[in-house]
Amino acid sequence: MPSVGLVYGRMREEEKLLVEAGRREGIDVRPQHDDALTLGLDGGIDGDAVLVRSLSSTRALAISRAADAWGRPVINGPQTISTCMDKGETSFRLHHAGIPTPDSRIAFDIETALAALDDLGYPAVIKPVNGSWARLVSRVRDREEARQILEHRQMLPNPIQHVYYMQSFVDTFNGSRHRDVRAVVVGDQLIAAIGRVSPNWPTNTARGATTENEPLTPELEDVCLRAAHAVGGGVLALDLLAGPEGWLVHEVNHNLEFRNTIGPTGIDIPARILQHTVQEARQ
Amino acid sequence: MSITTQAIACPECAAAIDAAPQFTGEIVDCADCGVELEVTSLAPLRVEVAPEIEEDWGE
């Protein structure tokens, strides 16, 4: 059976669960800290296949590109990571693949961004194009709030923060809680989904949202598999909202944190990820 | 797998910490000062104050 090089930046609960799943499944998992890697012309990662779990998306993309160039099976592939790292590109690809997604815009100038927000309507959401864990995600209720957020962003030193990504706000508040859905796609299968509920917005488990099982309906499966394909496929976590006309996919994540999805769903997600990685290596 | 507990000093407050990490990159909390420590070596056991979250960290 092919071995799996598990490249990580921090040994989180997810990485420990992957190592444990490897022991259970009889899969040779070889953990390697990305600090210790040197990538050369012919290699630098131990393992027949590479499972990229670096906490840094910049490192994850560099590692995936290297492994792909060596001809080594890698999960996720560089095209998928690159697309998922850019929320704007993700939105545009989803839309052009016919996946319902909140209306989204990118602008580079504050006045242009404000005009785009006028067009989207308020409330709206302003996000970094490449952030995670809801960092710097802001819901703005009017033009004044939007200008304040954009002017703060303009002062940040990283030029990527001056790429203004704006999205229509989809209101799921039912009077007591907001809710969105996190779905896990592994290869060509939707394997698990949870509802994330919170009295606060955004409903991110990194910010204390609670979770509950979400039934895997044919409609959910269809939109998730098409969305996963639209960003390049692989092992993905999709964030969805229930809109008045059905599911909307609002983000796709390439480095999923699954610890909060195992309990409500009972799915052995780390084993499924490893099995998929081995299967890819055999093809 | 047998895991040996080793004693180290917190680099922030010098409190004694007993830890038995299996991997570099694990996080150990100091019970005295609360700082998060990242395991940078297993043999011998070494820790450093864990880096702050960077802009490109996450999912």
β-strand A49-53 against A235-243: which pairing, if any? Answer: unpaired
From A134, which residue of chain B is nearest by alpha-carbon distance?
Answer: B58
Q: Chain-wide mean pLDDT for chain B? A: 91
In whole angstroms, what is the distance from residue A280 CA to residue B20 CA?
A: 34
Query: Per residue in A100-125, pLDDT tens?
Result: 999 999 999 999 999 999 999 999 99
User: According to the model, what pLDDT value does residue A247 have?
Assistant: 98
- Residue whose structure tokens are 């019970």: B31
Flag whether residue B52 sits within 8 Å of chain A, measured between CB atoms: no
Average the pLDDT over B16-31 and give the result. 94
A33·B24 Cβ contact <8 A: yes
Q: Quote the crossing angle between the two packed helices A269-282 and A13-25, to the nearest 10°.
A: 60
CA-based angle A230:A61:A283, to the nearest 5? 65
Query: Per residue in A235-268, pLDDT tens?
Result: 999 999 998 899 999 999 999 999 999 999 999 9
Flag whether residue A9 sits within 8 Å of chain B, measured between CB atoms: yes
Sheet strands side by side (includes B45-49)? B27-29, B36-42, B45-49
Average the pLDDT over A42-55 and give the result. 97
Length of chain A: 283
User: According to the model, what pLDDT value does residue A122 have?
Assistant: 98
Expressed in angstroms, the distance from the first to the final Cα of chain B is 30
pLDDT greater than 70 at residue A92 = yes
β-strand B16-19 against B6-9: which pairing, if any? Answer: antiparallel
pLDDT greater than 60 at residue B1 = no
Query: Per residue in A5-19, pLDDT tens?
Result: 999 999 999 999 999
**ipTM of this model?**
0.85
User: According to the model, what pLDDT value does residue A283 have?
Assistant: 86
> What residues are paired with A252 via a beta bridge?
A238
Amino acid letter, A18: L
Buried-state track B44-58, b at ≥16 Cβ within 10 A, e below 16: ebebeebeeeebbbb
B59·A35 Cβ contact <8 A: no
Could you tell me what percentage of chain A is helix, strand and coil, using 3-state DSSP and rounding each to the nearest 5? 40, 25, 35
Query: Per residue in A130-170, pLDDT tens?
Result: 988 888 999 999 999 999 999 999 999 999 999 999 999 99
Cβ-based contacts of A255 with chain B (< 8 Å)? 58-59
pTM for the structure as a whole: 0.94
Burial of B26 (0-12, 13-18, 19+ CB in 10 A): buried
pLDDT greater than 70 at residue B2 = no
β-strand B36-42 against A138-140: which pairing, if any? Answer: unpaired
User: According to the model, what pLDDT value does residue B4 have?
Assistant: 75
Determine phi and psi for B30, rounding to 5 degrees.
-85, 120
List of E strands, A14-103 = 29-33, 49-53, 74-75
Average the pLDDT over B49-54 and give the result. 92
Instruction: State the count of interchain CB pairs (< 8 A) between A and B.
Output: 58
- Identify the top-confidence range among A36-50, A123-137, A200-214: A36-50
Average the pLDDT over B26-41 and give the result. 95
